[in-house]
Amino acid sequence: MLKFGQIEIASKNFYSDYQVINDIDLDKIRISEGVTANNHDMRYTLGYEVKTGKIIPLFIKTPKNCSSNGVSQYNENSAWKMGFNVSEEPAWVKKYESVWEKVEELMFQKLTGTPLNNGKYINPKVIVWEDEIKTRFNGQCVPFKRHCEATGVLKIGSVYQQGSNYYLQVFLKECKYQDRGVNFQSQLSNEGFDTVR
Digit-coded pLDDT (tens) for 39-50: 889 999 999 999
pLDDT in tens, 65-74: 899 999 999 8
Please give the Cα distance from 123 to 115 (Å, whole number).
10
- For residue 98, the tally of other CB atoms under 10 A from its CB is 14
Please give the Cα distance from 112 to 5 (Å, whole number).
24
Q: What is the pLDDT of residue 181?
A: 53
pTM for this structure?
Answer: 0.85
Structure-derived torsion over alpha carbons of residues 94, 97, 102, 104, reported in degrees to the nearest 10: -160
Q: What is the pLDDT of residue 189?
A: 38
Structure-derived torsion over alpha carbons of residues 24, 45, 62, 73, reported in degrees to the nearest 10: 170
Q: What is the pLDDT of residue 197?
A: 31
Q: For 133-150, what is the mean pLDDT?
A: 90
153 in Cβ contact with 71 (< 8 Å):
no
14 in Cβ contact with 59 (< 8 Å):
no
